[in-house]
Structure 1
Amino acid sequence: MNKYLKRYAQNFDYPLFFTVLLLSLFGLVMIYSSSMMVAIVLEDEAPDYFYARQVKNLIVAFLAFAVAAFFPYKHYANKNIMLLLTVVLVVLFTWVKVKGIGGELGSQSWIKVPGLGSFQPSEYAKLFIILYFSAAFYRKAQKYTFEKLQPTEIFYPILLWILVVACVAFETDLGAVIILCGIAISVVAASGIPFKTFWKFFGVLGAFGGIILAILFTLKGDILTDSRIGRIKSYINPFDYEDGSGHQVVNGYYAIGGGGLEGRGLGQSIQKLGYLPEPQTDFIMAIIMEELGIWGVLIVLGGLGFIIYRGFSIALRTKDPLARMIAAGIASWIGFQSFINLGGVTGLIPLTGVTLPFISYGGTSIIMLSLAMGILVNVSMFERVERKKTIS
């Protein structure tokens, strides 16, 4: 054990850890700044209500990071571990279906955990798909060469992915569905599977995805609620719907434009004073731009960009297929979620309600992301150890 800890300390990925820590602390500051008015007026709580809750979330997240960072990633390919992760997923989705709670858009995406608050199963599903797909393809690679691997030979991972996407879609968390699809494709692409076989696999996913959408629209006709249709319309020209579905986007624009290059100053946002709804969640980047200008943007984009780069860099360097798929999956997760959030804030794509990694307020998000970062740090450590062995 002492030998393992010594080797771990020598090969710990400090740049990745401190980048995650910096982003999380920066997000904590911005949550406090952006949520004061919401806490006082809407929640009838102290100004630091959301800040205090996020501090507790970060403590749990740090513990999750530490556990994942010390747990050897190779164990995720173990059948018993895979079964345990699957059982947890089934329990969470059953729970959210039976006793789930939702929001104004008709979603049923959260469950109440006694003593811990609310939990969003779709966040767990993102990490689950990364680990399960990586383990499944890794185990198949032990029996077959990827050149001979066909989509029919990985029927169960495909079936499980379909069920997960269907459950998340029925919640209905459409932003998470997009991320789950991107993660699955990224993990498969990183597996080393031949290009022709990859496209066959992609075709299978696309076909089943189309079936899921058809079933979803048939059985859950209320998925396109007035709110969601309004988001699509307001995406084209939000100023035509400024008093309705375009309200959040338009006030996000005002925040971004009002900050200019230098920003109004920390704590000096105008849009957070009741104009921009829930500024501490998916629209926190608009407040960052308004208060800190280009410097806030550089901190967020620089930190997220480094994490994504680090993940793909680890994936490209390692010779272990399992490590490569896990690292690529985690990096893709951060990349897709960041793009969807920032794209919605800036009007590049329609809003989906996806949070900004490490920055937005939210317990489930920061805890699951911290777990993923702990796993990535562990993968990085083992990759460094193997590289040193090769050099020596």
Structure 2
Amino acid sequence: MVKKILKSYDYSLIIAIVLLCCFGLVMVYSSSMITAVSRFGYEPDHFFQRQKLALLAGGLAFFIMIIFPYRAFLHDKIIKLITFGSIIVLISLFFIGHAAGGAQSWISIGGFSIQPGEFVKLSVIIYLAAVYDKKQSYIDEFGRGVLPPLIFTVLICLFVVIQPDFGTAFIIAMISICMILCSGMAFKSIVKLIALLLLAGVLMAPIVIMKGLFSDEQLSRFVGVTDPFGNIEGAGYQLVNSFYAIGSGGLKGLGLGQGVQKYGYLPESHTDFIMAVIAEELGILGVLFVLILLTFVILKGFSVARKCQDPFGTLLAVGISSMIAIQSMINLGGLTGLLPITGVPLPFISYGGSSILLLMISMGLLVNVSMFTTYRETYKKPLNQEVDQTGNVKQFKRNQTSSIR
């Protein structure tokens, strides 16, 4: 059985993840060595070493997740722990959290800063996948099938918005929408849900504006993206220097470590704007390398979702793939001026211990779902008989065909 399990793992997906992480580690060192010394007074390899530690911890978590049966997360006690734990952690930020980047969304533990909002993303994915797995028999009943998970998701988003961390709240909301669209519910239920969300957005917008949840720094990001060169010394400073970095790279770039913009011109060169450094030092070829690998991982995730016969596994794959796709688009949109800068890191590449740990756990879960799915397809039987005990797989697959494909 062990030999069959090992054959069922998707090694192309694992290799793509390893390549992204290794490439990201190299670029964190290249993009942060000047910032570490001149801005913070650290050793040149300070951020590199911390990212390496996060990757080692993430690698251990990844290994655990690829061998831990994903359907164990369906246990009621685990779901309750995830839901109540997420709410308690987010509430605790208002008492023990510290601010960074204009948002009180960090907790310091043993000299390391952890951003709970990152892990809440995965909590929401697991919760929604579990809830919609159990609600398949009445998924189209709006009161029982749709509203309860929606209320939890909105509550989580509100706690994140109050910090205020609009980027993370937006990502959680978009992931939730993607999962709801692929949950197997009928089109008319989806229309009702979208109408309800639009109404809530219209009602909440004046409250957000009147209460002043947007700080001056956050409002300046909208000004910077609309006219960066008109605000080159202020709100448009980072974006303009991002343009300079991208434009000076050409096809092959200036060479690894030879970039100029990281010398204080691009303040967040190792986090939000690391792709600009990649463009400057490795050119279009370096950018394409990252984009091809990210696209491969995302498409692999959706491919797993389509093949999986289990609603819980399908929705996990959809949620995780959506998370990576949405974060990538927001980050790339910010550094190219297509979207306001939101402080969202580029998956696997940007510096950030919380981000890389979340991604490795999520990828381990995705690889686990892929392994179980491949095992079932190859050997015509489930590795874990629990997969067939839900009693709703066939009904879900009928609805899923129209939702995902």
Fold match by TM threshold 0.5: yes
1:84 Cα offset (Å): 1.4
Question: Is residue 2:14 matched to residue 1:17?
Answer: yes
Amino-acid identity (%) = 42
In structure 2, the residue corresponding to 1:295 is in which secondary structure? helix
* Contact 1:238-1:250 at 8 Å conserved across structures: yes
Equivalent residue number for residue 178 of structure 1: 170
1:211 Cα offset (Å): 4.6
In structure 2, the residue corresponding to 1:276 is in which secondary structure? coil
In structure 1, the residue corresponding to 2:264 is in which secondary structure? coil
Aligned match for 2:103, one of 94, 107, 126: 107
Equivalent residue number for residue 129 of structure 2: 134
Question: Is residue 2:23 matched to residue 1:33?
Answer: no
* Contact 2:228-2:236 at 8 Å conserved across structures: yes
Q: Give CA-to-partner distance per residue, 1:38-93, whole Å, 9 cap, x none.
A: 11111111110100110000011111111111111112222111011123212321
In structure 2, the residue corresponding to 1:110 is in which secondary structure? strand
* Contact 2:103-2:165 at 8 Å conserved across structures: yes
1:309 Cα offset (Å): 0.4
Distance 1:365 1:207 in 2: 32
In structure 2, the residue corresponding to 1:23 is in which secondary structure? helix
Aligned match for 1:319, one of 306, 309, 313: 309
Aligned match for 1:249, one of 228, 239, 249: 239
Distance 1:332 1:370 in 2: 15
Equivalent residue number for residue 49 of structure 1: 46
Distance 2:108 2:141 in 1: 42
Equivalent residue number for residue 224 of structure 1: 214
Q: Give CA-to-partner distance per residue, 1:328-375, whole Å, 9 cap, x none.
A: 111110000000000001111111110000000000000001110000
* Contact 2:87-2:156 at 8 Å conserved across structures: no
1:321 Cα offset (Å): 1.2
Equivalent residue number for residue 236 of structure 1: 226
Distance 1:209 1:179 in 2: 15
In structure 2, the residue corresponding to 1:47 is in which secondary structure? coil
In structure 2, the residue corresponding to 1:112 is in which secondary structure? strand
1:212 Cα offset (Å): 4.7
Q: Give CA-to-partner distance per residue, 1:136-173, whole Å, 9 cap, x none.
A: 010111xx243x43255443211111110001111111
In structure 2, the residue corresponding to 1:319 is in which secondary structure? coil
In structure 1, the residue corresponding to 2:6 is in which secondary structure? helix
Amino acid of the structure 1 residue aligned with 2:88: V
Q: How does 1:34-183 map to 2 (within 5 A)?
A: 34-104=31-101, 106-114=102-110, 117-141=112-136, 144-146=137-139, 148-183=140-175
Mind listing any 5+ residue stretches in structure 1 that lack a counterpart? Answer: none
Q: Give CA-to-partner distance per residue, 1:97-136, whole Å, 9 cap, x none.
A: 11111124x3111111235x11111111111111100100
Distance 1:73 1:211 in 2: 39
Larger CA deviation: 337-346 vs 92-101: 92-101
Distance 1:208 1:111 in 2: 31
Distance 2:190 2:264 in 1: 49
* Contact 1:31-1:280 at 8 Å conserved across structures: yes
Amino acid of the structure 1 residue aligned with 2:134: R
Distance 1:63 1:214 in 2: 46
Distance 1:23 1:230 in 2: 32
Distance 1:316 1:379, change over 3 A: same
In structure 2, the residue corresponding to 1:95 is in which secondary structure? helix
Aligned match for 1:266, one of 250, 256, 261: 256
Mind listing any 5+ residue stretches in structure 2 that lack a counterpart? Answer: 383-405
* Contact 1:282-1:353 at 8 Å conserved across structures: yes
Distance 1:90 1:213 in 2: 23
Amino acid of the structure 2 residue aligned with 1:90: I
Q: Across the two proteins, how many residue pairs are aligned to each other?
A: 382
Aligned match for 1:297, one of 287, 291, 306: 287
